[in-house]
Amino acid sequence: MRFVLRSKIHKATVTETNLNYIGSITIDEDLIEKAGFCPGEKVLVVSNTSGARLETYVIPGERNSGKICMNGAASHLIKVGEEIIIMGFELTDKPIKPKIVLVDKKNRFVKYL
C-alpha cells in the first residue's frame, strides 16, 4: 500500500486569512467538488511563494466565491496573495488517475490537467 496523489488544486491564490478560526483551510465549494475533496479531508498545502508546507483539513466556503482562506495557526505560515497547491492523497495498492484542477488568479476553474 502507498499514499498516492488523488486530488490537487494547482496555482490557487490565498484570498484571506483568519487567525481566530480554529484551524483548517476554507475552499470554494465548487473547487472542492471539481477536485474531488470532501469536507474534513486532510490535505497538504504548499506555498509556491514562500515554500511553507502544512497539513490541515478542508472546510467548504461559499460556492463560486473563489475563496481560499488559511485559518488558525496556518495563517502565520501562508499569507494573503500567496500562490498555493492543495493536495489530497489516498492509501491504495492500485494506480489512481488524480483529479488535478488548474485555477486562474481569482481561483476560477480553468481546466483539468
CA 109 to chain centre: 13
Give every CB contact of residue 53 below 8 A, 6+ residues apart in sequence: 44, 45, 46, 47
Here the cell at position 82 is 500567496
* Active-site annotation holder among 7, 24, 47, 75: 24
Catalytic pick among 7, 21, 47, 57:
57
User: Is 24 an active-site residue?
Assistant: yes
Q: Is 57 a catalytic residue?
A: yes
Nearest to 79 by CA among 45, 37, 33: 45
Q: Which residues are annotated as catalytic?
A: 24, 57
